[in-house]
Amino acid sequence: MSPFTKVLAMLTIAYIVSISNASPAIVSPYDPMEICIENCAQCKKMLGAWFDGPLCAEACIKFRGKLITDCEDFGSIAPFLNKI
């Protein structure tokens, strides 16, 4: 493959990605269950004893990552908060 062909191929790919207005996270594959469990761990680190991390992880598994927790969104973490 000639250098010109390589450059042309790279420019074509860059152009297609730029016109699609897609973020790299959308372009690359991701596992919603993995993100959900990682967010549970992050919330546990941030909120400590007030957050029930294992219950959050169980919900990730039960709902197959469809309900991803956001540590800054009270509505998404409310079911996992403990009364100390």
The model's pTM? 0.64
pLDDT value at position 29? 74
- pLDDT confidence of residue 44: 94
Examine the pLDDT at 63 and tell me if it is beyond 60. Answer: yes
Which residue spans within the chain are E strands per DSSP?
none
15 pLDDT more than 70 = no
d(CA 1, CA 57): 48
**9 or 43: which leads in pLDDT:** 43
Q: How confident is the model at residue 21 (pLDDT cuts 50, 70, 90)?
A: low
Residue with tokens 């269950």: 33
CA distance 31 to 22: 17
